[in-house]
Amino acid sequence: MLDETTKGVFTIAATPFLPNGALDFDSIDRMIDAYIEKGANGLTILGMMGEAGKLSSAESVAVVRRVRTRCAVPVIVGVSAPGFAAMTALSQEAMDAGAAGVMVAPPMGLRTDTQITSYFHNTVDALGGIPFVLQDFPLATGVQISPAVILQIVKDCPTCVMLKHEDWPGLEKITALRKASDKGARRLSILCGNGGMYLLEELLRGADGAMTGFGYPEMMRQVLDAFQAGDMDRARDVFDAYMPMIRYEAQPGMGLAIRKHSLARQGIIKHPTLRKPAAGLTAETIKEIDALAARQTRRLCELGL
Amino acid sequence: MLDETTKGVFTIAATPFLPNGALDFDSIDRMIDAYIEKGANGLTILGMMGEAGKLSSAESVAVVRRVRTRCAVPVIVGVSAPGFAAMTALSQEAMDAGAAGVMVAPPMGLRTDTQITSYFHNTVDALGGIPFVLQDFPLATGVQISPAVILQIVKDCPTCVMLKHEDWPGLEKITALRKASDKGARRLSILCGNGGMYLLEELLRGADGAMTGFGYPEMMRQVLDAFQAGDMDRARDVFDAYMPMIRYEAQPGMGLAIRKHSLARQGIIKHPTLRKPAAGLTAETIKEIDALAARQTRRLCELGL
Amino acid sequence: MLDETTKGVFTIAATPFLPNGALDFDSIDRMIDAYIEKGANGLTILGMMGEAGKLSSAESVAVVRRVRTRCAVPVIVGVSAPGFAAMTALSQEAMDAGAAGVMVAPPMGLRTDTQITSYFHNTVDALGGIPFVLQDFPLATGVQISPAVILQIVKDCPTCVMLKHEDWPGLEKITALRKASDKGARRLSILCGNGGMYLLEELLRGADGAMTGFGYPEMMRQVLDAFQAGDMDRARDVFDAYMPMIRYEAQPGMGLAIRKHSLARQGIIKHPTLRKPAAGLTAETIKEIDALAARQTRRLCELGL
Amino acid sequence: MLDETTKGVFTIAATPFLPNGALDFDSIDRMIDAYIEKGANGLTILGMMGEAGKLSSAESVAVVRRVRTRCAVPVIVGVSAPGFAAMTALSQEAMDAGAAGVMVAPPMGLRTDTQITSYFHNTVDALGGIPFVLQDFPLATGVQISPAVILQIVKDCPTCVMLKHEDWPGLEKITALRKASDKGARRLSILCGNGGMYLLEELLRGADGAMTGFGYPEMMRQVLDAFQAGDMDRARDVFDAYMPMIRYEAQPGMGLAIRKHSLARQGIIKHPTLRKPAAGLTAETIKEIDALAARQTRRLCELGL
């Protein structure tokens, strides 16, 4: 079960589709295996990157079950929904299937601090005792959550055990939360998203690991290992080798298509298909990705990776 | 089946709940009967006012079936969803249950004209041949749809047969659409929302009727009848009698709670319950609503209504 | 000098232009005279309705001086600006010319509570000891200020003496602020905007008066007088007589053009000209305004006004 | 005078302040010299990075004059303003002082395509014959301008000669504009911002150069020179050496403070002061910047730069 001490690399999983848009269960199996082989300590499924909003509720349950059957690492299930009835239903299915916890992003439209804390009070009511991750991703949700509000939620809601951190800029937020827990606030686990763009600085500020879906998920493991070994030069060398691609993926609205392209190129999933509505990649974009991938391979080779 | 010639009053239906938050099917029956008795030519269910986002998919289907069983007027079902899989699933259930068509609002986040037209092209793919209402409600969705974009959708999508008009300001939009159809564009049905706040001017601009959920739904019938009888003074007298309440309901985020209070006061539904997240009404607000209702009753009495 | 005890009707003044877009100083004189004759206890100039952002800084100063020369009532000057250098400069000019205080709306883009309170701390630094009105108008600024944040600003900033209230919905906010001052918080003056749409309810909740630019500014005086005389039926009769026009003015982005049309029709200003960018009124709109004005006149006549 | 054939590196200039917030004219001189020495073909002043909104109009004019006196390269002046009166006034002052053209970003709040094109039609009226740069920066302005709208503006407004491109994602937009000019649309100059984050891909898509204020402005020259020499490997090596810092600067709302820190560290300006409202840099952030700068120096040294 997820708790405040959870650490390491939680890979955000894509949801693979066949060219006709149906779920591709064979690719789910292969992808889960690859994520774990490349160093995932856990998985997060049905997040934004998992195209969760585009699945029917039956499909969501089917994905959760398939993933749980395939692997033994902790699985977090994204359950953000327009209303609590749907959130409760999916959360219960997920926990019944053996999930370690769920993840909730606040809905677009919340503005004041009070609206945000109320929303999470209601979330706790909806989830019962299920441990949950607060996903703080203002670029996607439009909801700005200050450190003081996060600390209020941490105080009010014992089942909030982890922050998926992807505010931007967000480094000061990590520092503020760690200073608060040094002074006695409950310390929650912080795993960082944002495609890994600030991973090294996030670790320096006190994050417990990474939770993102970068197309070469071994990056998180390699950076974290070097960092934990205290070899900062090595950590920066590895991190910088991936940075041109991390930055390319960071283009809003394009990241998922780029990642699925990269995963398919590596044979991790069979098709790069996204469900509609989704922008496809142009020939120019694919050429750019492939050029970056080739350089990345060379550079990693120089680093002995 | 819904088509471009649909006219009159389509009442937006609330979804009644028991105090514990469960669906209140007895109140659904009573409410449907009341809407029709008060002059509805059709009904729109599972819209924003119907708290559609707060229902599980099973509950949505149950509501559609109950309403269709209870009445013979055309029923439009709101099917807006984060993804097309859920939209397709509910639309098919709705049409199987005998709905006359469905209603789709664009998702928050669409910005450029091209994004909007693409979204509706995808909607048509998702709906197959099902006739649909385009809900144009920027205050709620954040999506601004210009008359030129609506006309493009009308041109590209033959199954788009009606506009639920609630842009604000929106009177010039009606005029622009009617001028375009005078010059040869396909003329679609326009029913107006916005709580009825500009109903008379909307009719003067060429709207075909009303589609809103004002707490005293007979207002739409009475105004439309006087307007169609050519008695503008009468139409204005009736409209003005309701205006203080229409304006009070127009407070964003409060309208539904006010309407459910009014419906419950009139015995049309048993409980004013909303599902969470929802703000309750304070004692001050209830006092204000009741004062407005008392004056409204007196004024309507003076008008022989 | 403006302070926490200020009460009554502060009319928001338009800025009259000649057809070529130049300032129309003759109309300024006539308009100021008319506002006072129709019951203004004070004036607010260079607000959003005053097209402040469209004036050069030299023009802004010229308008302040002309208005102050023409009248003896307290004048509040809108000084909202993209930066504090411009705000400080105009504020000092305004106070030198004899203004009673200034008005500041927070800039678009502020999101968290901390950002908002910081902004007003900086505002106080920029204004020195000048008393100011906090303009709370989320529909225009996008900035949501909760009652707790207003109370924090009231506590931190002794020169914040008045709230221009035009949150929507906003009635509970007045109640919250009054309950707080009953319990010991500093009580600031609350004058209400929103075009007068909820004026009566605002007074019932504890507002000290009105600050808006409705095209028939005597409405505020008449409603307030009846309310203060304790004749609620009379207050409602008067208020309801104006409501169809108040509601028509409430169309976003159109209110100012409608008001200038009404002011010009009454001979209060010479030309209804707005500076660009500004949408003009169509023939259909003008017809609708004039029909509402005719009915309004008849109804007020029946009421002996 | 700026025209459609303008190419190369236009450095976006900071506005240096003394610790007390006053303009630092000595640092302006030194900074201008440094920018040109580091390879600028032109300069852009009083943009967002220039804290333009925080200057009084007199200060803005003083900055323009000082910069023009100091250098002979073309100078573009940012003239974005809440209204056209201020825009016209500053533009005329700028051109009188010898500017090569002006830059205009659309104001927050424009939504539909028609609103955007109308705004630029009005801009042309306000500017008379002055050549201008359209600044397309949705992350800051909230205004989404599709390629079709840019092409419409290019068609309607002959004085629109350059696009400051910083849409994100924006690579396909460059491709779309270049494809359109290949088919006969007027070809305008495209210089790219976004802090240089996608500079190499932008050049590959057909951009004419860079316009940004990265804290080590020689980067733009070095990347562009290698690119134009056809040495893509060299271009990527140089670009990648700067990328960790480019990415760090990209944190929204922090970029300017980071740049001023870097400029001050290099002795290009005397003080890193920003005018309020502005977030300062924490000790943690300064440590991170300095670590990145040290590595950057080493890596550039390895590259012989």
pLDDT in tens, C57-95: 899 999 999 999 999 999 999 999 888 999 999 999 999
Contacts of C132 (CB under 8 A, 6+ apart): C101, C102, C103, C104, C123, C159, C160, C161, C162
Q: Is C15 helix (H, G, I), strand (E, B) or coil?
A: coil
Res A276: pLDDT: 87
Are residues D86 and C122, on separate chains, in Cβ contact within 8 Å? no
* Tokens encoding B123: 């909607």
- Residues from chain B that touch D113, judged by Cβ atoms under 8 A, are 112-113, 146, 148
| DSSP secondary structure letter of residue D187 | P
Alpha-carbon gap, residue A245 to B263, rounded angstroms: 57
Q: Is the pLDDT of residue A279 over 80?
A: no
Cβ A55 vs Cβ A63: under 8 Å: yes
Task: Judge whether A18 is closer than 8 Å to chain B, CB to CB.
Answer: no
pLDDT in tens, D55-95: 988 999 999 999 999 999 999 999 998 889 999 999 999 99
Task: Judge whether A252 is closer than 8 Å to chain D, CB to CB.
Answer: yes
Task: Judge whether A168 is closer than 8 Å to chain B, CB to CB.
Answer: no
| DSSP secondary structure letter of residue D275 | P
- Residues from chain C that touch D83, judged by Cβ atoms under 8 A, are 51, 53-55, 275
* Partner residues linked to D209 by β-bridges: D8, D191
Res D233: pLDDT: 96
Candidates C84, C124, C127, partner chain D, best to mutate (most D CBs within 10 A): C84
Give the ipTM: 0.96
Mean pLDDT along residues B2-25: 97
- Residues from chain A that touch B54, judged by Cβ atoms under 8 A, are 82-85
pLDDT in tens, A113-143: 888 999 999 999 999 999 999 999 998 898 9
Res D104: pLDDT: 98
- Residuewise pLDDT in 10s, chain D (305 residues): 999 999 999 999 999 999 999 999 999 999 999 999 999 999 999 998 999 999 988 999 999 999 999 999 999 999 998 889 999 999 999 999 999 999 999 998 788 888 899 999 999 999 999 999 999 999 889 899 999 999 999 999 999 999 999 999 999 999 999 999 999 999 999 999 999 999 999 999 999 999 999 999 999 999 999 999 999 999 999 999 999 999 999 999 899 999 999 999 999 999 999 998 887 899 999 999 999 999 999 999 999 99
pLDDT in tens, A81-117: 888 999 999 999 999 999 999 999 999 878 788 889 9
Residue B223 CA, distance from chain mean position:
16
Res B16: pLDDT: 98
Res B64: pLDDT: 98
Are residues C248 and B201, on separate chains, in Cβ contact within 8 Å? yes
**Nearest-by-Cβ selection for B169 from C198, C201, C254:** C254
Q: What percent of chain B has pLDDT over 90?
A: 91
**Nearest-by-Cβ selection for C285 from B171, B236, B254:** B171
Q: Is C136 helix (H, G, I), strand (E, B) or coil?
A: strand
Q: Which amino acid is at B276?
A: K
Mean pLDDT, chain A, whole residue set: 96
Cβ C18 vs Cβ C271: under 8 Å: yes
What's chain B's Rg over C-alpha atoms? 18
Alpha-carbon gap, residue A99 to A69, rounded angstroms: 11
Res D189: pLDDT: 98
pLDDT in tens, A281-298: 999 999 999 999 999 999
Task: Judge whether B207 is closer than 8 Å to chain C, CB to CB.
Answer: no
Are residues A122 and B85, on separate chains, in Cβ contact within 8 Å? no
The CA-to-CA distance between both ends of chain A, in Å, stands at 33
* Tokens encoding C63: 């308008």
Are residues B144 and D111, on separate chains, in Cβ contact within 8 Å? yes
User: How distant, in Å, are the alpha carbons of A19, A53, A287, C224 from that of A271?
Assistant: 7, 20, 18, 69
Task: Judge whether B236 is closer than 8 Å to chain C, CB to CB.
Answer: yes
Alpha-carbon gap, residue D139 to D105, rounded angstroms: 12
Nearest chain A residue to C114, by CA: A146
* Tokens encoding D139: 């992350």
B146: left (phi over 0), alpha (psi -120 to 50) or beta: beta
- Residues from chain D that touch C118, judged by Cβ atoms under 8 A, are 277
Q: Which of D103, D95, D150, D94 is nearest to D6 (CA)?
A: D103
Q: DSSP string of A113-125?
A: HHHHHHHHHHHHH
- Residues from chain C that touch A149, judged by Cβ atoms under 8 A, are 112
Confidence of residue C100 (pLDDT cuts 50, 70, 90): very high
Are residues A277 and B125, on separate chains, in Cβ contact within 8 Å? no
Res C142: pLDDT: 87
**Within 10 Å of residue C151's Cβ, how many Cβ atoms?**
17
Rounded to the nearest angstrom, the minimum Cα separation between C62 and chain D is 14
Q: Which amino acid is at C281?
A: L
In degrees and rounded to multiples of 5, residue A170 shows phi and psi of: -140, 0
Alpha-carbon gap, residue C279 to C272, rounded angstroms: 12
Nearest chain B residue to A23, by CA: B85
pLDDT in tens, B223-242: 999 999 999 999 999 999 99
Q: DSSP string of D14-83?
A: P--B-TTSSB-HHHHHHHHHHHHHTT-SEEEESSTTTTGGGS-HHHHHHHHHHHHHH--S-EEEE---SS
Alpha-carbon gap, residue A253 to D263, rounded angstroms: 33
* Tokens encoding A262: 């990269």
Rounded to the nearest angstrom, the minimum Cα separation between A147 and chain C is 10
Rounded to the nearest angstrom, the minimum Cα separation between D170 and chain B is 14
- Residues from chain C that touch A111, judged by Cβ atoms under 8 A, are 111, 144
Greatest extent of chain D over all pairs of C-alpha atoms, in Å: 54
Q: Across D185-253, where does the E strand assignment appear?
A: 189-192, 209-212
- Determine the length of chain B: 305
Cβ C33 vs Cβ C66: under 8 Å: no
Touching A (3+ Cβ pairs <8 A), the chains are: B, C, D
- Residues from chain D that touch A172, judged by Cβ atoms under 8 A, are 282, 284-285
Touching C (3+ Cβ pairs <8 A), the chains are: A, B, D
Contacts of C182 (CB under 8 A, 6+ apart): none
Mean pLDDT along residues B260-266: 98
Q: Is C135 helix (H, G, I), strand (E, B) or coil?
A: strand
SS3 letters across chain B: CCCCCCCEEEEECCCCECCCCCECHHHHHHHHHHHHHCCCCEEEECCCCCCHHHCCHHHHHHHHHHHHHHCCCCEEEECCCCCHHHHHHHHHHHHHCCCCEEEECCCCCCCCHHHHHHHHHHHHHHHCCCCEEEEECHHHHCCCCCHHHHHHHHHHCCCEEEEEECCCCCHHHHHHHHHHHHCCCCCCEEEECHHHCCHHHHHHHCCCEEEECCCCCHHHHHHHHHHHCCCHHHHHHHHHHHHHHHHHHCCCCCHHHHHHHHHHHCCCCCCCCCCCCCCCCCHHHHHHHHHHHHHHHHHHHHCCC
pLDDT in tens, B42-65: 999 999 899 999 998 899 999 999
Pairing between strand A101-104 and D209-212?
unpaired
* Tokens encoding C59: 């023009």
Q: Taking the CA of residue C93 as centre, how many other CA atoms within 13 Å lie in the half-sphere pointing to its CB? A: 19
- Residues from chain B that touch C243, judged by Cβ atoms under 8 A, are 240, 243-244, 247
Alpha-carbon gap, residue A43 to A63, rounded angstroms: 13
Are residues B243 and C240, on separate chains, in Cβ contact within 8 Å? yes
Contacts of B240 (CB under 8 A, 6+ apart): C240, C243, C244
**Within 10 Å of residue A182's Cβ, how many Cβ atoms?**
10
Q: What percent of chain A has pLDDT over 90?
A: 91
Res C276: pLDDT: 87
**Nearest-by-Cβ selection for B244 from C172, C240, C248:** C240
Are residues C276 and D122, on separate chains, in Cβ contact within 8 Å? yes
Alpha-carbon gap, residue A165 to A190, rounded angstroms: 7
Q: Is the pLDDT of residue B76 over 90?
A: yes
Nearest chain A residue to B84, by CA: A54
Are residues B276 and A122, on separate chains, in Cβ contact within 8 Å? yes
Q: What angle do CA B234, B239, B240 make, to 5 degrees?
A: 100
Rounded to the nearest angstrom, the minimum Cα separation between A293 and chain C is 38
Alpha-carbon gap, residue D249 to D217, rounded angstroms: 13
Contacts of C15 (CB under 8 A, 6+ apart): C23, C28, C45, C46, C50, C51, C52, C55, C63
Q: Is the pLDDT of residue B279 over 80?
A: no
Touching B (3+ Cβ pairs <8 A), the chains are: A, C, D
Mean pLDDT along residues C263-275: 97
Tokens 């909104």 -> residue: D53
**Nearest-by-Cβ selection for A275 from B51, B83, B108:** B83
Q: What angle do CA C267, C271, C273 make, to 5 degrees?
A: 140
- The enclosing H or E element of A205 equals helix A199-205
Are residues B113 and D111, on separate chains, in Cβ contact within 8 Å? no
Are residues D83 and C51, on separate chains, in Cβ contact within 8 Å? yes
Alpha-carbon gap, residue A272 to A24, rounded angstroms: 11
**Nearest-by-Cβ selection for D175 from A236, A248, A284:** A284
**Nearest-by-Cβ selection for B111 from D114, D144, D148:** D144
Are residues D144 and B112, on separate chains, in Cβ contact within 8 Å? yes
Q: Which of residues 47-76 of B touch A (CB under 8 A)?
A: 51, 53-57, 59
Nearest chain D residue to B148, by CA: D114
Q: Which of residues 128-147 of D touch B (CB under 8 A)?
A: 144, 146
Handedness of CA A103, A104, A105, A107 (dihedral sign): positive
Rounded to the nearest angstrom, the minimum Cα separation between A251 and chain D is 5
* Partner residues linked to C165 by β-bridges: C136, C192
